[in-house]
Structure 1
Amino acid sequence: MLLPIRIQFDIVLYALLAGLLTGIMFDLYRIIRGAKVPKFIVFIQDILFWSLAAVIVFTFLLYTNYAFLGAYVYIFMVISLLFYLRFISSLIFKVELIIIGKIRGVSRLIFKNIIYPIKLIYSKISGKTKEQKKIT
């Protein structure tokens, strides 16, 4: 059964977007994984990442084009992933690093502001100040 051109166009478009989504997730994974990790841990992390990425991409395709997975869907996903990794990844990687840095800074600031009153209450209850803790 032939599909109308509009549906075929949508399938190709969503396959391209799925490849880009996979590339963005891969950049996030590279940031989270870090650099100095034992090879065995990297192997396990890679398996977990690609399993999660497959589930996310399948869910994305399920909602956008009813999980129509023809050969050209895979081809266009690979093409867009390779295009992303070759030309766009370095820019997006830098942007993701900046965003994660800002999120870390804000969460650290919020955490310190939440912990500070708790430290004050604890020091009032225990009757010790910072100078007394250093002496003892």
Structure 2
Amino acid sequence: MPLQLSMQFNLVIYSLIAGIITGILFDMYRAIRGFSSIKILTIIEDILFWILAALIVFTFLLYTNYAFLTPYVYIFIVVAILLYLKLISRHFYSSEKIIIKFIAKIIRILLKNICYPLKIIAYKVTDKKK
């Protein structure tokens, strides 16, 4: 039995959204992973990422279009990923790196400010032995 036109339209839209979600996840993974010199570790990280991305996309498609996994769904997911990587990824990735650097700087400052009083206390405790 053929699907209704509105259902087919929703299928296409949700497939495109799933592709964009996959592209965003890939950019986030790329920013977090960085460049690893250990080849086997990189392979394991890549496999784990694609398993997680597949689970997220499948869950998204399950809730939005009852997991109709036709060839058209895969085609539209690939088209959305390619469009995302070609048009948006560069901007998203650069802003993501800026945000990560900012958060890392805040964490580093907080840790230094928290550790400084502890160092003073440790020096005072160890200095009393004289």
TM-score by length of 1: 0.82
Number of aligned residues: 128
Q: Which runs of 4+ in 1 moved over 4 A?
A: none
CA distance in 1, matches of 2:83, 2:37: 28
Q: Which amino acid aligns with 1:69?
A: L
Q: What's the CA shift string for 1:40-71, capped at 9, x where partnerless?
A: 22211111111111111111112222222121
Deviation at 1:117, TM superposition (A): 3.3
Q: Which residue of 2 aligns with 1:131?
A: none
Q: The residue matched to 1:77 in structure 2 has which SS?
A: helix
Note the 1:2-13 alignment, pairs <5 A.
2-13=2-13
Over aligned residues, Cα RMSD in angstroms? 2.0
CA distance in 2, matches of 1:28, 1:86: 16
Q: Which residue of 1 aligns with 2:14?
A: 14
Q: Which residue of 1 aligns with 2:101?
A: 101
CA distance in 1, matches of 2:63, 2:107: 33
| Structure 2: stretches of 5+ with no match in the other structure | none
TM-score by length of 2: 0.85
* Structure 2 CA distance for partners of 1:10 and 1:113, relative to 1, 3 Å: farther
Deviation at 1:89, TM superposition (A): 1.3
